[in-house]
Amino acid sequence: MSEPTQTGAQREELVLNMGPHHPSTHGVLRFVVHTDGEIMRKAVPEVGYLHRGLEKLAESQTYAGYMPFTDRINYLEAMFTEQAYAMAVEALLATEIPPRAEFLRVIACELNRIANHHITLGCITMDLGAYTPFVYLLRERESINDLIEALCGNRITHNYLRIGGVAYDVDNIWLGQLESYLDHFEPIINEFEALIVGNEILIKRMQDIAVISRRDAVAWGLTGPNLRASGQDWDVRRDIPYGAYPQFEFDVPVGPLGRGQAGDCYQRFLVRVEEMRQSCRILRQCLAKLPEGDIKAKVPKMIKAPKGESYASVEGARGEMGCYLVSDGGKNPYRVKWRTGSFSAMSIIEHTSPGLMIADLVALVATLDVIAPECDR
Amino acid sequence: MEFIYNYLSGLELGPWATSILFAMAVLVVAAAVFLVALTIAGFLVVVERRVAGRVQSRIGPNRVGPFGVLQWLADGLKLFMKEDLVPAQADGPMFRLAPYLVMVGVFAAFASVPFGMLLIASDLNVGILYILAITSVATVGILMSGWASNNKWSLLGGIRSTAQIVSYEVPAALSILSVVMLAGSLQMSGTASSPGIISSQGGWPWDWYAFYNPFTLVAFAIYFTSAVAEGNRTPFDLPEAESELVAGFNTEYSGMRFAGFFLAEFANVYLMSAIATTLFFGGWQIPAVSLAAQAASFWLRLVGLAIFVAKAAVLCFVVVWIRWTFPRLRVDQLMSLCYRYLVPIAFACLAGNAVYLLVIPAGSTVDNVIHWITTGSFGLLVLVFLWRVRFHIKRSGDRLDFDLLARGEKGSFDPAIQARPYGKFRRRHGKESA
């Protein structure tokens, strides 16, 4: 690739191997980066380091037995994978879920969404060099982990949902704790904004960087916050309503918000900050409206789904989390296929990267919020 | 040093004996300066980690020694006992030499740091010029380490670092020039008879060069920014940008050589704070005490040392604070900040300062009023800033503690809950139904 210049010096591309163990490749992920000095020609993601065969594993598990495996698809949003899977099975079984269980699922998912955005926003700031906001957000996430631990006994891989409902009920103590957490956390979002969101250096690093147009975002199948930051108003919770979501009022933040243009890194950052606020709003409504009743529908101990197929999708923290399930009428799923937000986000990196600087690649990967295990499965 | 040389010459031992004794004395002083600088650097590592801990609402190292102050010794010993690894494809001699060059560049500058009135290893008449020159040696070391590691990340880090240091020396030197213009001397410390930069300032804040006029205040801001950039500290830590370049130029280093880079970086933080104290904040000057009195009394000079160290410590704290607050700039933004903003402003300050010196006679009423106004407005700015900091610290609070909540000590918790404090996971009453 060397091309002679006027001075006779050779111009060569520098091929950098970013990863698999590199501080800013979240999880185990590798980029082959072709650079000219600090400017990138292109960055090609190499995935597959974390392939654990989670789709194939389903074929040897019972329907109920596969639930803990779904947690491992993405350790940051375990509740969403659980719910997508539970909904897919429930659609096959045609089970009615008790309203209290639906509310508890919403509570668990929205808590999980906030916890996930803590990590995402923290990692973005950390990748841009500010370490302290990450620690603050991690501190807040600890409280959520405590809450979820009290809810179901697990902090990361929750295994809280069951086919037909949820595993454990909540009592008034836990609801009181959740309410005090919300009282505590809502001002913290403002404090986070004062600390870092309006920081001029941070804005300079992200504004108008790695712009993904709305057209590209739709074409590459981006979903969730990444899609909404590009200006496409789409949220599965609102547009394909599921669970208890139709009963809540919430806004869907769509870029451009504040400074910058739709689709740049800063918008992807802002959309997530705003989503934490909306999640708090949904949780407050949950607390006010939580109905009494059963937490689990009657489902047989050994589930045998009727022959057929179903697809269920939920609005995960990284976009549409979809589960496609095929049943041959036996006690194991015949095939499970996952559709995750990280996979499409990963695929757009190669398209967006030319012309960026190495430091911008870090910002792009961080704001797209790709999680290698979710991509590889 | 002149003092030792004069003393030895006075003994009349003959030229050879005098020279040998003098060389030995130089070695002793050099070792002392090196050890002092090393201790300061090590102590600063601990201070940084403790401050970072407080900033991030955690504790920080507190196990080794009282408040963890000996942590750096433990870490240093650990690093010294680690294997000194040289990568197979690296350029061996250059790879080994590089950390020493970086250390020489930083630690040699300590020879001209005026800790107290006579407490300066060598009060050269070109002191500040010497410091500017000798610290540039570190750049060569960094470039060497980046090149010799035979690692692309190291190379990028080395190149970035060199470009950065060379660029930021321009505004730093320009802002230093403002002070040199005021003092009329390059000497760091000086005495009453041979005025240097410190001895021509006064003890009170309005006598300091930082508050001499608005131009010098801006020059101080520029010097401080450039010095942070030269020290490769956040928000200008691109050469070692962890999330981009792994660890930059010292990626391949381990053990003792890594410790060398590490301590040099922290010694550099103190060095830049000490230089800023010397140039802009009156150094070791004690308020309301004349130079002659300070020269006469040992105890007063000790007070001067304490004042100097305290001022430098405040600046060090600010540097640490900045590091744990800001994100980092991108490499092109870094360069445009330097050449498009800092350099022109530094030039304007230099020119403004020169005009000021020509137009307003030193010691006149107007001159004094401007000193006071500059001091006052800066003080007001600091107060407002501290008030904002306190406001935000109060508002962000600490981690939500469910134990405290359960005991009803804060928050909006139902007192009925006190009967059952929140603790480890306990199975809730709604057991999983079949």
What are the pLDDT digits (tens) for B89-146? 777 788 888 888 888 888 888 888 888 777 777 777 788 888 888 888 888 888 888 8
Say what the pLDDT of residue A206 is.
85
Region of residue B255 (phi > 0: left; psi between -120 and 50: alpha; otherwise: beta): left
Contact residues, chain B, for A140 at CB < 8 Å: 399-400
Model confidence at B434: pLDDT above 60: no
Instruction: Please report whether residue A115 resides in a domain.
Output: yes
List the 274-293 stretch of A: residues with Cβ below 8 A of B. none
Say what the pLDDT of residue B5 is.
67
Q: B84 and chain A: CB distance < 8 Å anywhere?
A: no
Say what the pLDDT of residue B401 is.
66
Q: How many CA atoms lie within 13 A of A176 on its CB side?
A: 21
Nearest CA in chain A to B394: A191
Instruction: Please report whether residue B425 resides in a domain.
Output: no
Closest CB to A180 among B235, B242, B405: B405
Q: A367 and chain B: CB distance < 8 Å anywhere?
A: no
Say what the pLDDT of residue A40 is.
83
Mean pLDDT of B330-342: 86
Query: In angstroms, what separates the C-alpha of B430 from chain A's closest C-alpha?
Result: 5
Cα separation values, A296 from A103, A162, A327, B117, B433, Å:
12, 8, 23, 80, 7
Say what the pLDDT of residue B383 is.
92
Q: B413 and chain A: CB distance < 8 Å anywhere?
A: yes
Say what the pLDDT of residue A1 is.
43
Query: In angstroms, what separates the C-alpha of B151 from chain A's closest C-alpha?
Result: 10
Domain that holds residue B231: 2-359
Q: A296 and chain B: CB distance < 8 Å anywhere?
A: yes
Cα separation values, A140 from A152, A176, A219, B232, Å:
19, 17, 36, 31
Instruction: Please report whether residue A9 resides in a domain.
Output: no
Q: Which among B72, B87, B82 has a CA at the least distance from the CA of B145?
A: B87
Query: In angstroms, what separates the C-alpha of B399 from chain A's closest C-alpha?
Result: 6
The domain that contains A254 carries what CATH number?
1.10.645.10
Q: Which helix (H) or strand (E) holds A366?
A: helix A358-368
Terminal Cα distance for chain B, rounded: 88
List the 139-168 stretch of A: residues with Cβ below 8 A of B. 139-140, 142-143, 146, 149-151, 153, 162, 167-168
**Number of neighbouring beta carbons within 10 Å of residue B47:** 22
Model confidence at B414: pLDDT above 70: no
Whether residues B413 and A180 touch (CB distance < 8 A) is answered with yes
Instruction: Please report whether residue B403 resides in a domain.
Output: no
Say what the pLDDT of residue B428 is.
42
Instruction: Please report whether residue A47 resides in a domain.
Output: no
E strands present in chain A:
3-4, 10-11, 14-18, 30-36, 39-46, 161-162, 165-166, 308-316, 319-327, 335-339
- Calculate the CA B335 to chain-centre distance: 22
Query: Are B167 and B236 spatial neighbours (Cβ–Cβ below 8 Å)?
Result: no
Instruction: Please report whether residue A43 resides in a domain.
Output: no
Say what the pLDDT of residue B406 is.
58
Nearest CA in chain A to B425: A150
Instruction: Please report whether residue A351 resides in a domain.
Output: no
Residues A172-211: tens digit of each pLDDT: 778 888 888 888 888 888 888 877 877 888 888 888 888 8
Q: A337 and chain B: CB distance < 8 Å anywhere?
A: no
Mean pLDDT of B409-432: 42
Q: A295 and chain B: CB distance < 8 Å anywhere?
A: yes
List the 166-195 stretch of A: residues with Cβ below 8 A of B. 167-174, 176-177, 179-181, 183-185, 187-188, 190-191, 194-195
Contact residues, chain B, for A172 at CB < 8 Å: 414
Cα separation values, B107 from A375, B71, B102, B113, B138, Å:
49, 21, 9, 10, 10
Backbone angles phi, psi at B185, to 5 degrees: -155, 155
Mean pLDDT of A215-235: 87
Say what the pLDDT of residue B119 is.
72
Model confidence at A75: pLDDT above 60: yes
Cα B250 from Cα B153, distance rounded (Å): 9
Instruction: Please report whether residue B429 resides in a domain.
Output: no
- Calculate the CA A353 to chain-centre distance: 22
Cα separation values, B311 from A113, B307, B343, Å:
47, 6, 27
Say what the pLDDT of residue A25 is.
66
Task: Lowest mean pLDDT of A22-26, A360-364, B26-30, name the range.
Answer: A22-26
Cα separation values, A372 from A46, A76, B206, Å:
10, 11, 58
Question: In this structure, what token pair is assigned to residue B77?
Answer: 């010993």
Closest CB to A131 among B245, B324, B427: B324
Query: In angstroms, what separates the C-alpha of B412 from chain A's closest C-alpha?
Result: 6
Instruction: Please report whether residue B169 resides in a domain.
Output: yes
Q: B394 and chain A: CB distance < 8 Å anywhere?
A: no
Instruction: Please report whether residue B414 resides in a domain.
Output: no
Contact residues, chain B, for A176 at CB < 8 Å: 412-414, 417
Say what the pLDDT of residue A12 is.
73
Q: Angle A309-A311-A316 (CA atoms, 0-180°, nearest 5)? A: 155
Confidence bin at B430 (pLDDT 50/70/90) = very low
Closest CB to B152 among A14, A24, A301: A14
Say what the pLDDT of residue B241 is.
63
Task: Please give the residue that has the higher pLDDT: either A55 or B249.
Answer: A55
Say what the pLDDT of residue B240 is.
67
Mean pLDDT of A63-80: 87
Instruction: Please report whether residue A118 resides in a domain.
Output: yes
A vs B, Cβ pairs < 8 A, gives: 152
Model confidence at B421: pLDDT above 50: no
Say what the pLDDT of residue B418 is.
40
Task: Please give the residue that has the higher pLDDT: either B199 or A289.
Answer: A289
Q: What's the structural domain count of chain B? A: 1
Mean pLDDT for all residues in chain B: 80
Contact residues, chain B, for A130 at CB < 8 Å: 234, 325-328
Whether residues A131 and B56 touch (CB distance < 8 A) is answered with yes
Instruction: Please report whether residue A368 resides in a domain.
Output: no
Contact residues, chain A, for B331 at CB < 8 Å: 38, 357, 359
Tokens 């999980």 -> residue: A112
Test the B interface: residue of A138, A141, A146 with most B CBs within 10 Å: A146
Say what the pLDDT of residue A114 is.
92
Instruction: Please report whether residue B411 resides in a domain.
Output: no
Residues B308-329: tens digit of each pLDDT: 889 988 998 998 888 888 888 8
Whether residues A172 and B152 touch (CB distance < 8 A) is answered with no
Model confidence at B411: pLDDT above 70: no
Residues B50-69: tens digit of each pLDDT: 888 888 877 888 888 788 78
Task: Please give the residue that has the higher pLDDT: either B6 or A319.
Answer: A319
Query: In angstroms, what separates the C-alpha of A325 from chain B's closest C-alpha?
Result: 24
Model confidence at A358: pLDDT above 70: yes
Contact residues, chain A, for B57 at CB < 8 Å: 135-136, 139
Domain that holds residue A76: 52-339
Say what the pLDDT of residue B420 is.
42
pTM score: 0.82
Say what the pLDDT of residue B417 is.
43
Nearest CA in chain A to B423: A150
Instruction: Please report whether residue B110 resides in a domain.
Output: yes
Q: Angle B167-B332-B327 (CA atoms, 0-180°, nearest 5)? A: 100
Q: A369 and chain B: CB distance < 8 Å anywhere?
A: no
Query: In angstroms, what separates the C-alpha of B388 from chain A's closest C-alpha?
Result: 11
Task: Please give the residue that has the higher pLDDT: either B282 or A226.
Answer: A226
Mean pLDDT for all residues in chain A: 84
The percent of residues above 90 in pLDDT, for chain A, comes to 5
Query: In angstroms, what separates the C-alpha of B95 from chain A's closest C-alpha?
Result: 21
Q: What's the structural domain count of chain A? A: 1
Instruction: Please report whether residue A260 resides in a domain.
Output: yes
Cα B144 from Cα B149, distance rounded (Å): 8
Backbone angles phi, psi at B135, to 5 degrees: -70, -20
Cα B65 from Cα B72, distance rounded (Å): 10
Contact residues, chain B, for A188 at CB < 8 Å: 396-397
Say what the pLDDT of residue B415 is.
42
